[in-house]
Structure 1
Amino acid sequence: MKRILLLILSLGIFINAQAQFPAGGFGGGAQKATVTGRITAVILDSITKQPIDYATISLIKVKDNKSVNGGVTDPKGKLSLLNVAPDSYKLMIGFMGYKTKSILVTTTPTKPDNNLGTLYISSSENALADVQVQGTKAIIENKIDRMVYNAEADGTNAGGDATDVMRKVPMLSVDPTGNIQLRGAAVRVLINGKPSGTMASSVADALKMIPAEQIKSVEVITSPSAKYDAEGSGGIINIITKKSNAQGVSGSISAAAGTRQNNGAFNLTAKTGRLSVNTSLGTNLAYAQDSRTEFITNTVYSNGTTNNIVQNGVSKWSRNGYNGSAGLDYDFNAYNNLSTTVKLNNFSNGGPGSSTYNINGFPSTNISDMDMTFNNLDWNVDYRKTSKKEGEEFSISAQLSSGRTPTSFSNILIPDGATTGIERISNNTGKNNEYTAQTDYTYPFSKAVVLEVGAKGIFRDIKSQFDVSAQDFDYNQNVGAGYGVISFDLTKKIKVKGGLRAEYTQIDFNTQNSGVQKNDYFNLFPSVIVSQTLKGSTTLKLSYNRRVQRPTQSYLNPFRNESDQFNIQQGNPQLNPELSDNLELGYSTFIKGSVINASIFYRRTGGVIESSISPIKELNPTTNLLVDKTLTSYINVGTAETYGFNLFASYNIKPKWTLMTNFAGNTYSVTNNETNINTGTYFNFNWFVRSAYGFGKGYNFELFNVITSKRRTYQGSTDPFYIYGGSIKKDILKKKGSIGLNVLNPFTKDLHIKTVNNAVNATGKIYQSANIYYPLRSFGVNFSYTFGKLKFTEKKKIKNDDVKQDQQQQQGGGMGGVQN
């Protein structure tokens, strides 16, 4: 009943708001459709008068400097942009080795078509950095509140998955299992502006099921306004997948085979008139490979007894998954649009493993098996209404997300000299249902002043069923939110965007041991961004925002993962959310073909959530004796103060040679006066370097390297690691297709990661050392082909950005339970 009332209240507020803005034309009367036309031209070399094929074209509105259309020229240099609304535009023409050319273009309702005739572009030894190798799109774009990594323009991504893509995104750090941090903090991951139920279970596993060839770009939003959900201490990552919005039929197909994994992707869009239908399918299959682990656990209990366990194991893990989607988009007229999308995801991993145990000098063998499956359905329906007043928009969106995560573990511990042992079996089925309703309204008072308001309700129901049929854990979370954001020009060169978001969270959950418990809280989240344009293309930006991180299913689920019966893992339903305040100063400029983006930031986070190990003693029901074990769970550690910076630079040494680097660093320090925690201050960094060279005749060669420093936690640290690779690609089939070779870590078979933890509690103190060897080396071949004319547009989307995701990969399958 509370959910229904909250939804009615949210919608009621904006039905009333709609009535307050009659200028928007929301009265429902008949309205004339906007006339659209086309812009055509032929692009030639100014010296040779030869056609420039595959030149990149962007159509930008003069009024707000926003890109509204674009494409590439054909082999004859011809350009045709369709569905162009009457207005004044800048037509930007870019190609590697040539100066970027800008032309003013105007279309009117009486003359919607504009043939620009023949346009000439001239070569330059220092072409701007927004024109990359062989005329492809810029790898990195910098915008007022985000940095965009155009994955489709990076040839080294071919044959990989989304995890491989994330490793090369500026400001992000990715550990060997695929968990992501932005500036040393947890981050919210969206797909096309929407959450996915699969992400709620495991971010690392969800990314592994997305082929790299399906990804168009990745947006890193470091300064989200109050319009966004307040989740993400570090910010928001939005993965944009490939989709066409051109008349006719267009799409792409790609496939990759390698020594580590195989994947494929297919995208298809059919558009005729007002109706557009799109579909996609992606698959990923990783070979079963041996993953090695070495654990040493030394425990000294308060009564003086000690316990020493040495474990060495190997598991043969396999991993496979698929994802598919189908969408429909329909324009009823020039002002009303309805769209819907259904996405399915399935992912499974696991396999057999064996390990040797030496417990206080007594050897034994553990035989294990593990199976983890993720199934998820996301269904979205979005209605959008615009008016004759440019920039005014009203939208209503709804979303259903339903996920299932059945998991099973088995272990047989066989003492040395014995032929059989006692089998331990653990099963758990997690269920995550999420319902969302959202409404937004944008009203431009003038070209310089824009108001945005909205309301949202999110209703989550998380269930966890253990080995028995009874329901063991039921967690309900309802979030009601409203926001207001205003943007205005303080001067001709200074722009301001400020807002306030209010969120009320209602939580109740029950466990068999503690019964029903509740936790309700209310938060206000202010945000402000001030940007100033300096001389030339230089911008200075100052921003502040408050963010929250709510724990998600994997953090809360009290299911005891006993895949390693001496190292137990368990969630904590008593966790409180993190709250953080973020301050950032950013600077960006273009200097003679170079792009430089630099920022410094400060973040204060209360209630930081981290994993925590502790020694425990448990009764063995078979022998009726106490057994020494280690429990890993999650706790609110304390308060963290973080200082950091990010430096990105791109430079065109020659018209066909581009160098790029990103260096991000931040401090780590956590204190808690109540528990006497004071970690001291440590420095973490992530360094990425990329070199791309075009040989001509469609050949492109790229190399990259990622170096990550030692990572600290309040109990220990993880050693540094590095990843490197390269690719060579050849354009074929009139540049509509490509074939290439790629390699990852060719000179090192395994990625070796060492983690050390030290913990003390009333039971005793514990030292744990883990050496994990992930098979990462791979060689592969890839092929891709696109057909039709590609033109991308953006739609209003629901964004559930309000829950903390799993940042530490679960380890299972006995001692060998690691993923590759």
Structure 2
Amino acid sequence: MNRILPLLFALVLSLTHLSAQQSAIAGRTSDSTSGQHLPFVSITVSSNGTDPIANGFSKEDGSFSIIVPAAGDYMVEFSAVGYNVKTMKCVTGSRLVAQLVILPKDLSAVTVTAQKKLVEMRPGMLVYNAAADLGNKGGTAADVLRKAPVLNVDAQGNVSMRGSSNLRILVNGKYSGQIARSAADALNMMPADMIQSVEIITTPSAKYDAEEAAGVINIITKKSRKDFTGALEVVAGNMEQVINPRIAASRDKWSIAFNGHIHRYRTKEASVFSRTVTENGAPGTELNQSMERDNTAPHGSGDLSLTFTPDSLTEWSFGSNFWFGRWPDTRSIVTTSLDAMANITEHYIQRVNSSERYLGADFNLGYTRKSRRPGQQLSLLAQYSPGRNRMPYDITLSDKDQLSLYAEINSNRTSNQEWTFQADQVWPLGKKGIYILDAGLKMISRNARNRYKVTADEAPTGDAYVPVPSRSDLFVYGQDVYSAYSVLKFDPAGRFYAEAGLRMERTSIDGRLEASGTRFSNGFTNLIPTATVSMKINEDQHMALSYTQRLTRPYVFDLNPNANASDPKNIEVGNPGLRPETTHQGELTYSINQSGRFFINTALFARVTSNAMIDLTQTAPDGVSTTRMENMASNRIAGLNTSYSFTLTPEFGINGNVNISYLDYSSNELRLFNEGWAGDISANASYRLPKRYTVQLFGKYDTRTIELQGRESGTYYYSAAVKKDLSRPRITLTFATVNPLTPFIAQDEWLSGTNFYSVAANRYYTRAFKLTVNWEFGKLFEAKAAKRVSNDDINDGTKK
């Protein structure tokens, strides 16, 4: 025993001496923009900046610890795919290193400063990395799309691409019933904080549904690879108040995520409207109206996703998304009618109380199986989307003495459900796999029921409402779409890439009006060819030529004959006989991308649409107008689009868009023709200041919008944001303002027909100030990462 104790003591001393001779460089790598940890970053340590003495990789949670011979000064180089190489000087000491080794979670983090590009080009698409743009903090999806390349978003949140609003908007590659109901409302309900990136596909291949003429927008939401992450975002402002909780957890083969959104959104508008009915070319009766609306819409949504990966080749996924809310449209209208001699024939005040209450959901189940042969994959998807809403309105017309002249109530209830089944298969062909075959089948079944009943009171008392049978009915509508596609790709991993595809879609529709006994049905088959050829000029430059044919079907809202007469002088009604429109589209693109610091994508495009669906306004001799969709026009659009992104310094970057289009609308049947130039320009700049401050500026100007019957004047939009990052706790403070120097955006609209012309002066009150607090709390609960298999080879269905 006496001999053993000295030996043990000597052993301890020798180990202590050995540890004193060695030291370690430890820390953590992370993305400088998103703050997310970066796994598998290559790390090289050198004593003089040239001769490496140690190397290693960061772990899955971004942490690293590399042994060096002794304490002192070292140069540490970090490199990872998609990021700039970062070199840092590190001073170590034996005491500091000992503490780092024992308590790694308390280490001072070493951050790889790697500013992710805001805009990237991938095969067949442009990608806007929304998570890297600080100005999106506290905003909505509409704010995100407003900054994305090619796209245009107006003050109401309506999205268009190169002059067309016929777009297909997907979320993680999946159809969303929430967006189908109303894209503008849905985008204002989706928080920007949950969006990772936006894919803009201007010429979709045959793999995508043929529906929507202009293109496809795919919104990719954030996903977490950590054991536990969470965030809480709170927005306080004069135009909106928001609470966005987000939480995600993963363990072994399971992962779950939830995103919530509670939103109180204010809209304020005013307009002055004048319409003159002509008689034999001379001015006749005149209608003058002034309108004001100021509404606040409380609404919310939630998104739950669950993923199970039993092995590296298989993935099961379940997702659900639900939305609810009340969207009011209460307004006051003062109406004055004049005869041809300018004598007042009518004068009344109209109050409209309207509020849409809605509840809807999407439920989807997905299965993905990858083969051991690289690139071969089978994907199955089933989705169910139920929904219901109530869109009633009641109006009261009164004279200047508040005496009731007329009152009307329209009770309007709609229920709908949609089933989707989809199967996709990818096969690499040949030994080298340079040929790839994509093929798939899809079925969509849509059913909707709309019951509406109108009661009116023409007595001055306003107490005796009488049913109006001619404006009351049950509208039942069904639509089934069966499709199959095949795409053959040639990808030799060299300078050339080519693909050609064909999609067949069979559509069957039927509908009926129960009370009137009216029935209608139709069926049509469409063959949709697509083709793309691209060439890699050199490492920085690419060219591509694409062609596609697109199809736009009418929605049930466009077909519903229930007349919206909330303004009896301007009636809106659906058209059950509406047919789809077909579009041919071609595009030639050139892009240059130099080391991620200089990016330009320029596209020449042309689009020809026949049998176009247009909102046609016709005015009767009594001055009442009716607007409904008709297949009575064709249009041709040609233009130039340029998207750019410059990283001038590591701290300063700018990106934006320039669009110029020539539009030609014609309708021989209506004897209406309109053509002209239109364009828009935008710029988004970001500058990182010392002490974790960042400043962002955004501006956009639209020259005008041209339609068959008229045009709209130009508009502008600008915003500014200042962000402050706090490291402990991990909180981001962002103060943003929208149009701070102008109380409203003014936009005029001119419309004309064979027997009328009108002008409207609109004001959209968009000036806003808001403070956003974003707290990411997942790091507080991080456990020490265990070594386990990472199934990063699973494709979530959103990668192209």
Q: Which bracket does the TM-score occupy, shorter chain normalised?
A: 0.7 to 0.9
Equivalent residue for 1:54, pick from 30, 34, 40: 30
Decide whether aligned partners of structure 1 residues 513 and 732 sit closer, same or farther in structure 2, where only a CA change above 3 A counts.
Answer: same
Q: Distance in 1 between matches of 2:574 and 2:268?
A: 28
Decide whether aligned partners of structure 1 residues 661 and 718 sit closer, same or farther in structure 2, where only a CA change above 3 A counts.
Answer: same
Partner of 1:388: 372
Decide whether aligned partners of structure 1 residues 702 and 309 sit closer, same or farther in structure 2, where only a CA change above 3 A counts.
Answer: same
Whichever residue aligns with residue 673 of structure 1, its letter is N
Residue 695 (1) aligns with residue 689 (2): yes
In the alignment, is the contact (CA less than 8 A) between 1:54 and 1:73 conserved in 2? no
Decide whether aligned partners of structure 1 residues 50 and 490 sit closer, same or farther in structure 2, where only a CA change above 3 A counts.
Answer: closer
Decide whether aligned partners of structure 1 residues 678 and 701 sit closer, same or farther in structure 2, where only a CA change above 3 A counts.
Answer: same
Q: Distance in 2 between matches of 1:701 and 1:54?
A: 21
In the alignment, is the contact (CA less than 8 A) between 2:118 and 2:645 conserved in 1? no
Deviations 1:244-265 (A, max 9, x none): 2x24112322121111111121
Deviations 1:574-627 (A, max 9, x none): 11111111111111112463111111111111122221111136xxxxxxxxx6
Equivalent residue for 1:452, pick from 433, 438, 443: 438
Decide whether aligned partners of structure 1 residues 407 and 340 sit closer, same or farther in structure 2, where only a CA change above 3 A counts.
Answer: same
Q: CA deviation at 1:552?
A: 1.0
Deviations 1:336-386 (A, max 9, x none): 322111110113221543222212214221122111123211000111112
Q: CA deviation at 1:655?
A: 2.3
Equivalent residue for 1:364, pick from 341, 345, 348: 348
Q: Secondary structure at the match of 1:208?
A: helix
Q: CA deviation at 1:768?
A: 2.0
- Unpaired runs of 5+ residues, structure 2, are 1-24, 46-55, 63-78, 89-109, 339-343, 455-468, 783-789
Equivalent residue for 1:206, pick from 161, 173, 186: 186
Whichever residue aligns with residue 647 of structure 2, its letter is N
Decide whether aligned partners of structure 1 residues 313 and 491 sit closer, same or farther in structure 2, where only a CA change above 3 A counts.
Answer: closer
Equivalent residue for 1:749, pick from 743, 749, 767: 743
Partner of 2:16: none
- Unpaired runs of 5+ residues, structure 1, are 1-48, 59-68, 84-89, 100-120, 123-130, 618-626, 800-820
Q: CA deviation at 1:51?
A: 7.0
Q: Secondary structure at the match of 1:206?
A: helix
Residue 548 (1) aligns with residue 528 (2): no
Q: Distance in 2 between matches of 1:230 and 1:796?
A: 22
Q: Secondary structure at the match of 1:525?
A: strand
Seq. identity, %: 27
Q: Secondary structure at the match of 1:257?
A: strand
Deviations 1:405-445 (A, max 9, x none): 21111111112345333211122122221111111111112
Residue 296 (1) aligns with residue 286 (2): no
In the alignment, is the contact (CA less than 8 A) between 1:225 and 1:528 conserved in 2? yes
Partner of 1:683: 677
Deviations 1:18-46 (A, max 9, x none): xxxxxxxxxxxxxxxxxxxxxxxxxxxxx
Q: Distance in 1 between matches of 2:591 and 2:566?
A: 49
Residue 773 (1) aligns with residue 775 (2): no
Q: CA deviation at 1:499?
A: 1.1
Count of residues in correspondence between the two structures: 687
Deviations 1:204-230 (A, max 9, x none): 111111122222211111121111111
Partner of 1:197: 177
Residue 274 (1) aligns with residue 259 (2): no
Partner of 2:752: 758
Q: Distance in 1 between matches of 2:768 and 2:584?
A: 41
In the alignment, is the contact (CA less than 8 A) between 1:163 and 1:178 conserved in 2? yes
Q: Secondary structure at the match of 1:637?
A: strand
Partner of 1:613: 617
Q: Distance in 1 between matches of 2:585 and 2:320?
A: 35
Q: Distance in 1 between matches of 2:635 and 2:538?
A: 38
In the alignment, is the contact (CA less than 8 A) between 2:391 and 2:411 conserved in 1? yes
In the alignment, is the contact (CA less than 8 A) between 1:342 and 1:378 conserved in 2? yes
In the alignment, is the contact (CA less than 8 A) between 1:743 and 1:780 conserved in 2? yes
Q: Distance in 2 between matches of 1:633 and 1:422?
A: 25
Q: Distance in 2 between matches of 1:399 and 1:634?
A: 30
Partner of 2:196: 216
Equivalent residue for 2:290, pick from 304, 307, 312: 312
Partner of 1:472: 474
Q: Distance in 1 between matches of 2:130 and 2:33?
A: 18
Partner of 2:4: none
Q: Distance in 1 between matches of 2:796 and 2:416?
A: 25
Q: CA deviation at 1:798?
A: 10
Q: 1:77-226, aligned counterparts within 5 Å?
A: 79-81=58-60, 91-92=80-81, 94-95=83-84, 135-185=114-164, 186-226=166-206
Residue 325 (1) aligns with residue 311 (2): no
Q: CA deviation at 1:746?
A: 0.2
Whichever residue aligns with residue 440 of structure 2, its letter is G
Q: Distance in 1 between matches of 2:728 and 2:584?
A: 51
Deviations 1:760-813 (A, max 9, x none): 2xxxx12222222111001111111334589998755599xxxxxxxxxxxxxx
Q: 1:665-680, aligned counterparts within 5 Å?
A: 665-679=660-674
Partner of 2:51: none
Answer with 304-313 or 517-526: which moved more. Answer: 304-313
The alignment's C-alpha RMSD in Å is 3.1
In the alignment, is the contact (CA less than 8 A) between 2:115 and 2:650 conserved in 1? no
Q: CA deviation at 1:243?
A: 2.4
Q: CA deviation at 1:98?
A: 7.5
In the alignment, is the contact (CA less than 8 A) between 1:211 and 1:283 conserved in 2? no
Equivalent residue for 1:642, pick from 625, 637, 642: 637
In the alignment, is the contact (CA less than 8 A) between 2:42 and 2:80 conserved in 1? no
Q: Secondary structure at the match of 1:156?
A: helix
Q: Distance in 2 between matches of 1:342 and 1:663?
A: 37
Q: Distance in 2 between matches of 1:586 and 1:392?
A: 30
Partner of 2:531: 528
Q: Which protein shows a greater Rg? A: 2
**TM-score, length-normalised on structure 2?**
0.81
Decide whether aligned partners of structure 1 residues 736 and 496 sit closer, same or farther in structure 2, where only a CA change above 3 A counts.
Answer: farther
Q: Distance in 2 between matches of 1:574 and 1:302?
A: 31
Q: Distance in 2 between matches of 1:677 and 1:192?
A: 41
Q: Secondary structure at the match of 2:193?
A: helix
**TM-score, length-normalised on structure 1?**
0.79
Whichever residue aligns with residue 214 of structure 2, its letter is G
Q: CA deviation at 1:750?
A: 1.1
Q: CA deviation at 1:490?
A: 5.9
Residue 519 (1) aligns with residue 522 (2): yes
Answer with 631-640 or 540-549: which moved more. Answer: 631-640
Q: Distance in 2 between matches of 1:280 and 1:577?
A: 36
Q: Distance in 2 between matches of 1:527 and 1:463?
A: 36
Partner of 1:725: 719
Q: Distance in 1 between matches of 2:218 and 2:148?
A: 12
Whichever residue aligns with residue 454 of structure 1, its letter is G
Q: Distance in 2 between matches of 1:70 and 1:394?
A: 28
In the alignment, is the contact (CA less than 8 A) between 2:39 and 2:61 conserved in 1? no
Answer with 729-738 or 138-147: which moved more. Answer: 729-738
Partner of 1:339: 317
Whichever residue aligns with residue 197 of structure 2, its letter is S
Decide whether aligned partners of structure 1 residues 171 and 224 sit closer, same or farther in structure 2, where only a CA change above 3 A counts.
Answer: same
Q: CA deviation at 1:192?
A: 1.7
Q: Distance in 2 between matches of 1:384 and 1:146?
A: 23
Equivalent residue for 1:501, pick from 491, 499, 503: 503
Q: Distance in 1 between matches of 2:795 and 2:32?
A: 23
Residue 401 (1) aligns with residue 395 (2): no
Equivalent residue for 1:589, pick from 588, 592, 601: 592
Q: Secondary structure at the match of 1:662?
A: strand
Deviations 1:417-475 (A, max 9, x none): 45333211122122221111111111112331111111011111122211179852112
Q: Distance in 2 between matches of 1:57 and 1:718?
A: 39
Decide whether aligned partners of structure 1 residues 143 and 481 sit closer, same or farther in structure 2, where only a CA change above 3 A counts.
Answer: same
Q: Distance in 2 between matches of 1:491 and 1:216?
A: 28
Residue 261 (1) aligns with residue 234 (2): no
Q: Secondary structure at the match of 2:680?
A: strand
